[in-house]
Amino acid sequence: MSSGRLVYVMGPSGAGKDSVLNEARRQLGGSPTAFAHRYITRPADAGGENHVTLSEEEFACRRDRSLFLFHWHSHGFFYGAGIELLDWMYRGFTVVLNGSREYWPQARERIPNIEGVLITARSEVLRQRLQDRGRESDAAIKERIRRNTALESDMPGVRVIDNSGDLSHATSELVDFLRKPAP
């Protein structure tokens, strides 16, 4: 299909996935690595990742015309990754996509040679980070931890990177993984 790679990075809220991705992007600047933006029906000023904001109508129009390689719904928003990722791979890039753990089985079905990376942290670290954010109740945090355990229990073949400690260790693992040549 292509000469590049597609690396699908996922992880629970509080694992520090965005921090690891941002630092890896900084370290890999100038290399043939493309960190894909996502199309999201979330306002641009909502915080978090740099993304392309679409209305639900715009999203549906693009989805219905097959402009997304992947698309899913999570936490009240629609997310999409554009078909341009295939062109980037064809041109020899390692393409890095911030994906959803729940959508991982569909992504593997669609692109069989996709590579999965799970950035995670120990349950007590996740709990503390989520409490420090102050966005959710203790019951909601407990449910997130339970959901995380269930989702991560069935991910064979996925590279797991523990970000419970210093950010530099997890970033180094991801950067090393991204630098390896296409299979």
Question: Could you tell me which residues are annotated as the binding site for ATP?
Answer: 11-18
Rg (CA), the chain: 16
Alpha helices in 94-160 (DSSP H): 104-110, 123-133, 138-152
Check: CB of residue 33 under 8 Å from CB of residue 178.
yes
Instruction: Please tell me the distance from the alpha carbon of residue 176 to that of residue 129, in angstroms, as a whole number.
Output: 26
Q: Which of 109, 182, 120, 174 is nearest to 151 (CA)?
A: 120
39-40 vs 68-74, strand pairing mode: unpaired
Encoded tokens for 94: 């390692």
Q: Which of 151, 133, 179 is nearest to 28 (CA)?
A: 179
Instruction: Please tell me the distance from the alpha carbon of residue 91 to that of residue 3, in angstroms, as a whole number.
Output: 7
Report the binding-site residues.
11-18
Encoded tokens for 29: 């600047």
